[in-house]
């Protein structure tokens, strides 16, 4: 098939010139979309705060009462963190969140994380 074009080539004002090698890196790719539910985010925050308070209370318990103090401190700290973290998470996280990531050489996909 022979192509013949005699007129001037008119390009849009916002075009970007690139060579053939550069085009091989631009073609393709897709977006990974992660939808995090509100409950998932709340549970993550609750578990994080529970772990942090458990560790802190375990360190304090070790300083006060040795290994028994550490075990008791970790348990009480984790429970306290779960209560506080749950309360903070429930009052501050009202909606879910979406994370979009572009990755070359894949097809677009959406994942719902409950």
What pTM did the predictor assign? 0.61
Q: Which domain holds residue 88?
A: 51-93
Asked whether residue 65 is assigned to any structural domain, the reply reads yes
Nearest to residue 33, comparing CAs of 88, 110, 103? 110
- Give residue 89's pLDDT: 86
Q: How many domains does the chain have?
A: 1
- Alpha-carbon span 17 to 8, nearest angstrom: 16
Asked whether residue 63 is assigned to any structural domain, the reply reads yes
- Give residue 27's pLDDT: 58
> DSSP secondary-structure letter at 105?
T
Whether 20 and 26 have beta carbons less than 8 Å apart is answered as no
- Give residue 19's pLDDT: 72
Whether 9 and 88 have beta carbons less than 8 Å apart is answered as no
DSSP letter string, 29-94: -EEEEEEE-HHHHHHHHHHHHHHHHHHHHHHHHHHHHHHHHHHHHHHHHHHHHHHHHHHHHHHH--
Q: Write out residues in the chain with pLDDT < 50, as ranges.
A: none
Asked whether residue 16 is assigned to any structural domain, the reply reads no
What mean pLDDT, rounded, does the chain reach? 82
Taking only the tens place, the pLDDT of each residue in 6-21 is 777 777 887 777 776 6
Neighbours of 54 (CB within 10 A): 20
């Amino acid at each position: 098939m022979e192509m013949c074009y005699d007129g001037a080539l008119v390009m849009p004002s916002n075009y970007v010139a690139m060579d053939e090698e550069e085009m091989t890196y631009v073609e393709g790719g897709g977006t990974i979309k992660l939808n995090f539910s509100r409950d998932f985010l709340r549970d993550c925050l609750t578990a994080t705060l529970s772990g942090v308070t458990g560790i802190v209370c375990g360190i304090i318990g070790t300083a006060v009462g040795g290994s028994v103090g550490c075990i008791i401190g970790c348990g009480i700290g984790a429970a306290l963190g779960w209560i506080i973290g749950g309360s903070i998470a429930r009052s501050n996280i009202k909606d879910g969140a979406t994370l979009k990531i572009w990755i070359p050489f894949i097809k677009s996909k959406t994942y719902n994380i409950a």
